[in-house]
Amino acid sequence: MRKTVFLNNDREMPLLGLGVYKTADSEAETAVTAAVNSGYRMIDTASVYKNEESIGKAIAKCGVPRKDLFITSKIWNTAQRMGDIEGAFYRSLDRLKLDYVDLYLIHWPVPGCYLSTWKGLEKILDSGRALSIGVSNFQIHHLEELKKISGIVPAVNQIECHPLCYPKDLIEYCQTEGIQVQAYAPLARGAYFDNDVMCVLGTKYARTPAQVGLRWAIQKGISVIPKSVHPDRIAANADIFSFNIDEEDMDIIETQNQDYHSSHVPEDLRDVIL
């Protein structure tokens, strides 16, 4: 199976990346080094994670040429509300000490702001400082609104997705529109590790429930960005390209969906709109 996907602008993105939400400065170098040694080439950060500086240092030290890495960051809600789109972007770039990011995302669809934020991202795309632009936590109605005001289709929609949270309509919509789905919290922060079905399938495939959950997503063409700061877990989470889940078991995993959100519920933005 291929380890990368082509986005709607023909840029290539790895299916597997390292998430770094809640990765402390002191943990960044170990995590990024372990990830690179385990074959990861994509790192997913955001200004709100407050670790772009240490992640940038770790990237610089990791020994892989910049062109072979895929770095994502995101614009936070406060900057959207202030209309400070390019300012926020260049501050991220400065903290990361990079000339460009591979992907820049709108972190949340802040009501009343996300359409003008997208116009700002279009300018950033034009400048060549972000090679692709996309969105996160967008629902179908947000994407439909975006379509009305822009000819640029988001390259990626990063959403919560794992066996306990499978927003099928949204995923199918994105796939039809040429928007690559990327699963955040693909381990549900551990919530399916003791799920009966995932444990039985783990035994069947001689893998952990975490590996089965990640493999299930990439087999559906969905990119995954599991987070860990432990080298052994980082390596284990990357060992998902050497086995195949049967179609029947793929369907069984899908039945585990219970719309469980380990992060925020997308339509309830009260606690994420600052």
Ligand X SMILES: NC(=O)c1ccc[n+]([C@@H]2O[C@H](COP(=O)([O-])OP(=O)(O)OC[C@H]3O[C@@H](n4cnc5c(N)ncnc54)[C@H](OP(=O)(O)O)[C@@H]3O)[C@@H](O)[C@H]2O)c1
Catalytic positions: 49
* 197 touches 256 (CB < 8 A): yes
Amino acid in the structure at residue 102: D
Comparing CB distances to ligand X, the nearer of 80 and 128 is 80
Comparing CB distances to ligand X, the nearer of 126 and 259 is 259
User: What x-and-dash track marks residues 238-267 binding ligand X by CB under 6 A?
Assistant: -------------------------x----
Q: Who contacts 60 (Cβ-Cβ below 8 Å, separation ≥6)?
A: 97
Distance, CA of 170 to CA of 271 (rounded, Å) = 22
Q: Which of 39, 83, 178, 190 binds ligand X (CB under 6 A)?
A: 190
Q: How many Cβ atoms from other residues are within 10 Å of residue 80's Cβ?
A: 24
Residues in region 21-60 near ligand X by CB under 6 A: 21, 44
Comparing CB distances to ligand X, the nearer of 126 and 221 is 221
Work out how close the CB of 158 gets to ligand X at its nearest, in angstroms, rounded to a whole number: 5
* Residue among 120, 146, 225 at smallest CA distance from 183: 225
Binding segment toward ligand X, per CB under 6 A, in 61-69, 116-124, 222-230, 249-257: 222-230
Verify binding: residue 134, ligand X, rule CB under 6 A. no
Tokens representing 214?
Answer: 């990640």
- For 88, list phi and psi in degrees, rounded to 5: -65, -40
Verify binding: residue 20, ligand X, rule CB under 6 A. yes
Exposure b/e, 23-32, CB count within 10 A at least 16 = b: beeebbbebb
Query: Interface residues with ligand X (CB under 6 A)?
Result: 19-21, 44, 107, 136-137, 158, 184-190, 210, 225-230, 233, 236-237, 263
